[in-house]
Amino acid sequence: MKGDCFVVALEQAMCHNYKVVHALATGRGPIEGKVYSHAFNLIENGEFGIDWVVDRSNGNDVTMPAAAYFAIGKIKRSQTYTKQQAMRLAYKTQHYGPWDTKLLKN
């Protein structure tokens, strides 16, 4: 599954000072059970003192509690980067990610 999630997550982090999360997610619906690499943003200790996920990839406009997002996506493995870490890795590798090979899945 190809999309724009890695590009969008880094752009959102740069604009809003969000954290960038790269993860292995498990598909639902037409891609039920397919494990794929995905990227989204995290706001730690946001409104109501909880962590929030922001996902604007592939035309989506999702903002929800991180615990719910991780449960829905069946996310078992992830890596979180600060904006600065993400920008440094994107520059060093000349791509948007994933930067950890354990999170690389087509």
In this prediction, residue 104 carries a pLDDT of 82
What CA–CA distance (Å, rounded) separates 93 from 95? 5
In a domain, 105, yes or no: no
* R_g of the chain computed on alpha carbons: 13
Task: Determine the structural domain holding residue 14 and report its residue range.
Answer: 5-99
In this prediction, residue 106 carries a pLDDT of 60
Q: Across residues 62-66, what is the average pLDDT? A: 97
In a domain, 104, yes or no: no
Contact between 49 and 78 (Cβ < 8 Å):
no
In a domain, 53, yes or no: yes
In a domain, 26, yes or no: yes
In a domain, 106, yes or no: no
Model pTM score = 0.93
pLDDT digits (tens, 9 = 90+) for 9-59: 999 999 998 999 999 999 988 989 999 999 999 999 988 899 999 999 999
DSSP label at 49? Answer: G
